């Protein structure tokens, strides 16, 4: 006989607000930078860049955890389009602040944070549930449930 074991672990990290607000959702994590112009489909929020590890995955309504933006100044225009098409991320958590990244976060209107006390790429995995309170500078991560077989 097999028993499912479900455990929940919550991690709290602090960071700096870029765009205020509170949002929560499933995490979508990548160690690859994301290109806006030519790298995403703003209609669906799907990463379309050929060699990107998230190719074919949509960030719509998810907490996007990534190092930062890459590519041209069209980055913010593409993410602005995701907001207009209801396919934007629920929130942004990123490591490298650039003007491109800041403008993209602002035009998306999604809560956004950076400058963390602990690297979010080290403690958040795709599928974790993340609550971002950018106004307070707090990110609460509930680790995804893991099932296992009992004795």
DSSP for the chain reads: ---B-----EEEEE-EEEE--EEEEEEEE-SS-EESTTTEETTTTEE--TT-TTTT-B-TTSEEEES-EES-TTHHHHHHHHHHTT---SEEEES---HHHHHHHHHHT--EEE--SS-HHHH--TT-EEEEETTTTEEEEEPPP---B--
Q: What is the pLDDT of residue 146?
A: 61
Q: Is residue 147 part of a domain?
A: no
Residue 151 lies in a domain: no
pLDDT digits (tens, 9 = 90+) for 39-52: 999 999 999 999 99
* 75-134 residue pLDDT tens: 899 999 999 999 999 999 999 999 889 999 999 999 999 999 999 999 999 999 999 999
Catalytic residue among 72, 73, 76, 110: 72
Query: What pLDDT score was predicted for residue 24?
Result: 97
Q: What is the pTM of this model?
A: 0.89
The answer as to whether 149 is a domain residue is no
Average pLDDT along the chain: 90
In this predicted model, what pLDDT tens digit does every residue of 9-28 receive, in sequence order?
899 999 999 999 999 999 99
Domain, as residue range, for 35: 10-142
Inside any domain, residue 2:
no
d(CA 121, CA 124): 6
Q: How far apart are CA 83 and CA 93, in angstroms?
A: 17
> Is residue 72 flagged as an active site residue?
yes
Spatial neighbors of 21 by CB under 8 A, at least 6 apart, are: 91, 109, 110, 111, 132, 134, 135
In a domain, 64, yes or no: yes
- pLDDT (0 to 100) of residue 150: 39
Closest C-alpha to 58, from 80, 31, 89, 93: 89
Look at residue 38 in the predicted model and tell me its pLDDT. 87
CATH number at residue 94: 3.50.30.10
């Amino acid at each position: 006989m097999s028993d499912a074991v479900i455990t929940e672990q919550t991690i709290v990290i602090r960071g700096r607000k870029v765009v205020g607000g509170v949002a929560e959702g499933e995490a979508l994590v990548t160690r690859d930078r994301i290109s806006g112009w030519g790298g995403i489909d703003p209609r669906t929020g799907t990463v379309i860049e050929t060699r990107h590890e998230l190719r074919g995955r949509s960030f719509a309504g998810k907490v996007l955890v990534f190092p930062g933006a890459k590519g041209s100044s069209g980055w913010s225009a593409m993410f602005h389009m995701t907001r207009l098409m209801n396919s934007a991320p629920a929130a942004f958590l990123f490591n490298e602040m650039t003007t491109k990244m800041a403008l993209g976060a602002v035009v998306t209107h999604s809560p956004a944070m950076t400058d963390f006390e602990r690297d979010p790429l080290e403690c958040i995995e795709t599928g974790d549930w993340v609550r971002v309170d950018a106004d307070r500078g707090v990110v609460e991560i509930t680790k995804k449930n893991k099932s296992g077989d009992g004795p």
